[in-house]
A and B are shown apart, each in its own frame.
Chain A
Amino acid sequence: MPVGAKQAMSDQENPKPETESTTPTSPSERGQRDRGRRRHRQLPQHLEASINMEELRELIGLITDNALTDFELQREGFHVKVGRNPYPGRTAEAPVLPPVSENAMPSGAGSSAVSGVPMTTPPHPGAHAEEEASEDLGLHIVNSPIVGTFYRSPSPTADPFVRIGSQVKKGQVLCIIEAMKLMNEIESDGDGELVKIYVENGQAVEFGQPLFGIRMQ
């Protein structure tokens, strides 16, 4: 159980009046605390509020429904970071929930604090498809039929088979996947414009992994 949740329970056992909360309220106290951290305050301080478990669950629901991979929210008094592994098959981690620091707070302020905040998705090196999943609706995805290493060109010095924007035809070679020293040519199974490339040159790919997105014509 995250450390934050334990704090919450002890707060409920010993409810403190609002003014005596553990977060600093005077400007000097806040300044002192903020100096130690990189902070960007987005909303006025009276909306300093944390988030209770119900809202956290809702937040996570929003994140998964919209297929986001990373979400980070910093507010007065708490910091939420939720990460989702976009690559099935890369590692075997379940979604990670780091500790949420939580103070007793009125539920009214809590719900408005969550809804108004913009969501940030920091760039994830090597992560691809799921971050922009909503943009991929309607694209025909070419998946890897085998396990191996993905190469964009027939040889290290040659040009790539295709680029973003290339018009591709059914049967056209899009890439090579090397498996057991054999170079397997992967063909397009449709006609259209190549709009997405989901993997990097030299990257290991598994069966079923998305490689290209084609806008069919």
Chain B
Amino acid sequence: MNNGTRRFRKILIANRGEIACRIIWTCKEMGIGTVAVHSDVDRDSLHVRFADESVCIGPAPSAQSYLNIPAIISAAEIFNVDAIHPGYGFLAESAYFAEICEACNIKFIGPRSSVIQLMGEKVEARRAMQNAGVPILPGSPDAITSEEEGIKLAREIGFPVIVKASAGGGGRGMRVVKSEAEVGHALETASMEAAAAFKSGDVYIERFVERPRHIEIQVLADEHGECVYLGERECSIQRRHQKLLEEAPAPMMTPELRQEMGEKAVAACKSIG
């Protein structure tokens, strides 16, 4: 049973590549044992070589290896690790994976599964942020249930608007709508795409910003409720909704704006736990 104030002896890194290497190096500095997982073709990867121990968890396709939850949990158990660090991507934002770790008494190095769940559902996330005092774009408070509702809301917000999948991510399940006539079709196609990709067809509407700057504030929180902000990254340079380049610090950012955004972000995180 892991006492909250005792350091981890050994952790498993459920990832590969540069993030796995960085985590392993940090663990070495901290004197924490490391277990790397890899697919059979990644056997000679750098992260495998740097870790103290390693285990092959599946064949090449990610779905059968790095996303293979039973294999990863099984590996964590037989190597007797205290915690799993998911890195970024792969299972890092999977509320389901976090929940399984909790159930198996393995610490998940990340937010609680309930928090991941909340923030992964955009309609819920918007509501939570609004309650925390974070300024959000005007948009529907809930998922859209009919075309009429959609049109009415779009008129209120003012065109152009965008239809977005509530469970969405990675640039999919979104449709820009420039006029009333397009609303119905956009709702339908976005919803279908969302259902196929994210298993939920819920969509909502919000104002569309034509030329936005996409700024992310990095926050760091621990399980004792402490939270800090660590600066921002500008992720505006994208192609087809995939970020190409991130800049830090963001150009055109002022210290005042950074502080304001950072403090709001910390408050928001604390409010959702």
Query: Interface on A for B, CB 8 Å cutoff?
Result: 88-92, 94, 146-149, 179-180, 204, 206-209
Contacts and interface: CB of A to CB of B under 8 A. Distances in A.
A180 B55 contact: no
Interface of B: 36, 40, 43, 48-59, 65, 70-71, 73-75, 77-79, 104
Q: Which of B36, B65, B70, B104 has the most CB of A within 10 A?
A: B70
Nearest to B71: A147
Contact of A92 (B52, B57, B59, B79): B52
Nearest to B69: A180
Contacts of B56: 88-89, 147, 206-209
A204 B78 contact: yes
Given A147-B75, A180-B104, A91 B70 contact: no
A88 B44 CA distance: 9
A38 B62 CA distance: 52
A109 B231 CA distance: 67
7 contacts: A92-B53, A146-B71, A147-B56, A148-B74, A179-B70, A180-B104, A206-B55
A88 B45 CA distance: 12
Contacts of B43: 88-89
B65 to A, nearest CB: 8
A207 B53 contact: no
A180 B77 contact: yes
A206 B57 contact: yes
Contacts, number: 59
Q: Which of B36, B53, B77 has the most CB of A within 10 A?
A: B77
Contact of B58 (A148, A179, A207): A207
A149 B104 CA distance: 17
A94 B104 CA distance: 33
Contacts of B58: 207
Contacts of A206: 55-57, 75
A141 to B, nearest CB: 14
Q: Which of A88, A89, A147, A179 has the most CB of B within 10 A?
A: A147
Contacts of B57: 147, 206-207
A174 B247 CA distance: 56
Contacts of A94: 49
A8 B156 CA distance: 84
Contacts of A147: 55-57, 71, 74-75, 78
A206 to B, nearest CB: 4
A89 B78 CA distance: 13
A208 B71 CA distance: 12
A209 to B, nearest CB: 7
Contacts of B75: 147, 206
A146 B74 contact: yes
Contact of B48 (A92, A148, A207): A92
Q: Which of B36, B50, B58 has the most CB of A within 10 A?
A: B58
Given A180-B73, A207-B59, 12 more contacts: A92-B36, A92-B48, A94-B49, A147-B55, A147-B57, A147-B71, A148-B74, A148-B78, A206-B55, A206-B75, A207-B57, A207-B58
Given A89-B56, A208-B40, A180 B74 contact: yes
Given A92-B49, A94-B49, A149 B78 contact: yes
A99 B235 CA distance: 51
Given A92-B36, A180-B77, A207 B71 contact: yes
A146 B53 CA distance: 17
B76 to A, nearest CB: 9
A92 B54 contact: yes
A89 B73 contact: no
Nearest to A177: B74
A204 B65 CA distance: 18
A180 B50 contact: no
